[in-house]
Chain A
Amino acid sequence: MLTKRVIPCLDVKDGRVVKGVNFVNLRDAGDPVDLANAYDEQGADEVIFLDITATHEGRKTTIAMASRASEEVHIPYAVGGGFKSVDDMRQMIAAGADKVSLNSAALADPSIITAGALAFGSQAILVAIDAKRASDGSDKWTAYVHGGRKDTGIDAIEWAREAARRGAGEILLTSMDCDGSKDGFDIALTRTVARAVDIPVIASGGVGKLEHFAQGIIEGEADAVLAASVFHFGELTVRQVKEYMAKQGIPVRL
Chain B
Amino acid sequence: MAASIAVVDYCKGNLASVQRGLADAGFDARITDAPADILAADGVVLPGVGAFTDAMTTMEETGQADALRSVVAQGVPFLGICLGVHLLFAWGDEGQPEGERLAGLGVLPGHVERMAAIDANGAKHKVPHVGWNSVEFVDGFAGRGDAARLFDGIDDGGYFYFTHSYCAVPDDTADLVATSEHARRFAAAVARDNVFGVQFHPEKSSHLGLRLLENFGRIVEARRS
Contacts and interface: CB of A to CB of B under 8 A. Distances in A.
Interface stretch (B14-22, B69-77, B168-176): B14-22
A40 B17 CA distance: 15
B16 A71 contact: yes
A67 to B, nearest CB: 8
Most chain B beta-carbon neighbours within 10 Å: one of A40, A93, A95, A96: A96
A3 B133 contact: yes
Interface stretch (A17-25, A72-80, A130-138, A210-218): A72-80
Interface residues of A, number: 27
Nearest to B14: A96
Given A76-B204, A200-B126, A45 B17 contact: no
B154 to A, nearest CB: 13
Interface residues of B, number: 26
A71 B17 contact: yes
Contacts of A121: 128
Nearest to B13: A94
B205 interface: yes
Contacts of A253: 132, 159
Interface string B176-188: 0000011000000
Contacts of A45: 131-132
9 contacts: A1-B181, A5-B131, A70-B16, A70-B17, A74-B205, A76-B204, A96-B16, A169-B128, A198-B126
Interface of A: 1-3, 5, 40, 45, 67, 70-76, 93-96, 98, 121-123, 169, 198-200, 253
Given A71-B19, A75-B206, A199-B126, 8 more contacts: A1-B181, A74-B206, A95-B14, A96-B14, A98-B163, A169-B130, A198-B124, A200-B126
